[in-house]
Amino acid sequence: MRMVKALMDNPTLYLEKYLHELIPAVVTCIVSKQLCLRPDVDNHWALRDFAARLMAQSCKTFSTTTNNIQSRITKTFTKVCGDASD
């Protein structure tokens, strides 16, 4: 996630072409059931929070009316939350 943050913060890179490779990793860190071997000891919530902030930054930076990134991500999270309640 720190690598994704560094890439996003670099103004010389054109990341729009690579978002389809970066976003799934960020989404996984937000919604995955288990991110570490010892969730009772390791702070997986910090990783989830950091990934969520990256996703918000991605939506704010790259979402346009053409690509609809923010609405597509929102639909993904809504589906995941709906599946989790079943």
pTM over 0.85, yes/no: no
Distance CA 76, CA 60 (A): 17
User: CB of 69 within 8 A of CB of 19?
Assistant: yes
**Mean pLDDT by 10-residue block, N- to C-terminus, for the chain (86 residues)?**
95 92 94 82 89 94 89 90 71
Rounded to the nearest 10 degrees, what angle do helices 44-62 and 19-31 cross at? Answer: 140
Look at residue 40 in the predicted model and tell me its pLDDT. 77
Domain span at residue 78 reads 1-84
Counted domains in the chain: 1
